[in-house]
Amino acid sequence: MNRLFIDFHTFVAYNTYLMANTITYNEHTLAIGDTIAVDYKIKEANNKERIQQFEGVLIKIRGASEPTRMITVRKISKSGIGVERIIPLHSPFIASIKVTKKSEFRKARAYFIRDLSLKKTRQKLYTTKKRK
């Protein structure tokens, strides 16, 4: 039986590549569970352009290389409806991305927050658990 020998650093780099729960975008580290604010350029009639801010929880990072990298951001609107937006990071319409709140969440995807209310989401992502 042939076994492939990989040193520890190669394994960690490969495992990090597969489980992309953090990325770096313009010197900002974005992690799953963080609350981020994305300033998105929107073109309107008569060649007018405005910037719309979309602030929500980062629930998914997708794409292996820089040109194909996309993030999914979810927010709860004022009427209580959940809104998700898939944002390609290589888009010319992104003005800026800022991290407004860091999370201690460790998983690769945060799909479970789709079923939670805003209060329960905050409790799951941003409260630190007391260890005994």
SS3 130: coil
Domain-located, residue 131:
no
* 94 within a domain of the structure (yes/no): yes
DSSP 103-119: ----SS--GGGGGS-HH
Kindly report the pTM of this predicted structure.
Answer: 0.72
Q: Taking residues 82-91, report their average pLDDT.
A: 89
Domain assignment of residue 132, yes or no:
no
Q: Collapse the DSSP code of 96 into the 3-class scheme (helix H, G, I; strand E, B; otherwise coil) and give the result.
A: strand
Whether residue 1 lies inside any domain: the answer is no
- How confident is the model at residue 16, as a pLDDT? 47
Q: Is residue 77 part of a domain?
A: yes
130 lies in some domain:
no
Beta strands at 35-43 and 28-31: parallel, antiparallel or unpaired: unpaired
Residue 100 to residue 110: CA distance in whole angstroms: 18
Query: Which CATH number belongs to the domain containing residue 24 in this structure?
Result: 2.30.30.790
Range from 18-27, 28-37, 55-64, 73-82 carrying the lowest mean pLDDT:
18-27
Residue ranges making up the domain that contains 69: 8-125
Residue 44 within any structural domain of the chain: yes
Q: State how many domains the chain has.
A: 1
| Residue 121 included in any domain | yes
Tokens of 21: 């729960």
